[in-house]
Amino acid sequence: MNRMGKISITAFLVFLAATCLLYSQDPVKTVSVDVDVVLIPTTVTNDRGQYVGGLEKENFTVFEDRVQQDVTYFSTEDSPMSLGIVLDSSGSMNQITAAARRNGGACMSAGTTEDEYFLIVFSDKLKVNTDFTTDLRSLRAQLLSVNSKGSTALYDAIYAGLAKVRDGINPRKALVVVSDGYDNHSRYSAKNVREAVRETDVQLYLIGNEGDGALRALADSTGGRSLSSRARTFELGTICNEIVRNLKNQYLIGYHSTNALKDGKWRSVQVKLNAPDGIKLNLRSRTGYYAPEDKH
């Protein structure tokens, strides 16, 4: 990846926190959801990629293992999110971290928000730089202290990030992974990461990792995305805006599963859209989840 491409990823990272802050300045309502409800964040766009609002619960039909479910929870509110940022600080990312130190302070501003964040920085080892926080000043300070060296334990970092973001208090949960390379130093495998993703309700976003097709497919299966820093449409802060707008413009659909078995098995979920007046729309959502397991 060339130098401009790498700096673009850094610009994404620092703009990410700033833009999340700006998007959450307006008062929002805290959403309380029954823990037994299966939540499926769902994104709807038109053919031009624009987010489509104004749809009602009746416009969505949910199937679990091909059995139709009764939608008991439906929200379009700009509810708070729990967002984890996982940043690659291996040797190949040297130019990125240098730019973050120079520009991070200028791109972030302090403020209050109901969104919560954490930061994990990794190379061949992992460091949880911040626990969940609503204070972007803490996040900014940690970003500015990042140094680049070592190998790339990418799978380990994603696995740890998924485990941590599950503890978030908000119904919308997402993990953003910023890396320009392949894994070359992990204890966990791609299979372990895939299983961890399937066990969470976390949406996964990948930035800059353009070569690992398995990870890209994994991000898509969560309702998240894999975004390339080289594509013109996702340069600089546009990448950040895309992720934040996606999270803030989702429909949150919930149901109580008709399958009461606590067998720990994978259940496929399909959300179908009944578009008004036959309008052609695109839908993206999570493709399934693991049922709870009764270990007694």
Which tens digits make up the pLDDT trace of 114-130?
A: 788 888 888 888 777 77
Give the CA distances from residue 165 to residues 32, 122, 185, 197, 206, in Å, rounded to whole numbers and listed in that order.
18, 16, 22, 11, 15
- Among the ranges given (33-47, 164-178, 221-235), the one the predictor scored with the smallest mean pLDDT: 221-235
Higher per-residue pLDDT: 74 or 110 = 74
> What is the SS3 assignment for 177?
strand
- Closest of 76, 34, 42, 45 to residue 62, by C-alpha: 42
Task: Give domain 3-27+85-237's CATH superfamily.
Answer: von Willebrand factor, type A domain (3.40.50.410)
* pLDDT value, residue 296: 64
User: pLDDT at residue 281 above 70?
Assistant: yes
In angstroms, the CA 193 to CA 196 distance is 5
**Buried/exposed 59-96: b ≥16 CB within 10 Å, e otherwise:** bbebebeeeebebebbbeebbbbbbbbbbbbbebbebb
| pLDDT category of residue 139 using cuts at 50, 70 and 90 | confident
pTM of the model: 0.74
pLDDT of residue 264: 86
SS3 state of residue 50: coil
Say yes or no to pLDDT of 88 above 50: yes
C-beta neighbour count of 128 within 10 angstroms: 15
- For residues 289 and 287, give the distance between their C-alpha atoms in angstroms, rounded to a whole number: 7
Domain ranges for the chain, please list them. Answer: 3-27+85-237
Q: How far apart are the C-alpha atoms of 280 and 259, rounded to whole Å?
A: 32
Residue of higher predicted confidence among 259 and 228? 259
Q: How far is CA 271 from the centre of its chain?
A: 19
Confidence of residue 70 (pLDDT cuts 50, 70, 90): very high
Lowest mean pLDDT among 48-52, 104-108, 115-119: 104-108
Q: How confident is the model at residue 11 (pLDDT cuts 50, 70, 90)?
A: very low
Higher-scoring residue by pLDDT: 30, 247: 247
